[in-house]
Structure 1
């Protein structure tokens, strides 16, 4: 069982550890996330999870986030 995502007003944790010029809105929910530059993704971690489930085993997603 997964925990529900926090309110949209709270940023994705990745946005808190990246430079301010790489922060932008998630394409799915508009939550603030690390969107631009190296390691950036157009989706926050909560919007990315269902997308990754649809990829199947042939596709890998490697995250550079710590």
Structure 2
């Protein structure tokens, strides 16, 4: 059982540890998240969880750089 996400007004924890110029909105819920630069992704951790569950164990992130 997972805990429900906090209100959208609260940022993703990843946004709290990166510099302000790398913070942007989640493409799904618009919550502030670490979006730009190394390690950034377009989805916050709560929106990414169901997506990642559908990938399976063999999918890995590959850099496009």
Please indicate, yes or no, whether the TM-score normalized by the shorter chain is above 0.5: yes
Aligned to 2:53: 53
Runs of 4+ residues over 6 Å off in structure 1: none
Q: How many residues align?
A: 61
Q: CA RMSD in A?
A: 0.9
Deviation at 1:60, TM superposition (A): 2.8
Deviations 1:20-62 (A, max 9, x none): 000000001000000000000000000000000110122035x
Aligned to 1:42: 42
Aligned to 2:26: 26
Q: Look up the SS of the partner of 2:9 in the other structure.
A: coil
* TM-score where L is the length of structure 2: 0.89
* TM-score where L is the length of structure 1: 0.88
In the alignment, the residues of structure 1 paired with residue 57 and residue 6 of structure 2 have an alpha-carbon distance, to the nearest angstrom, of 28
Deviation at 1:5, TM superposition (A): 0.2
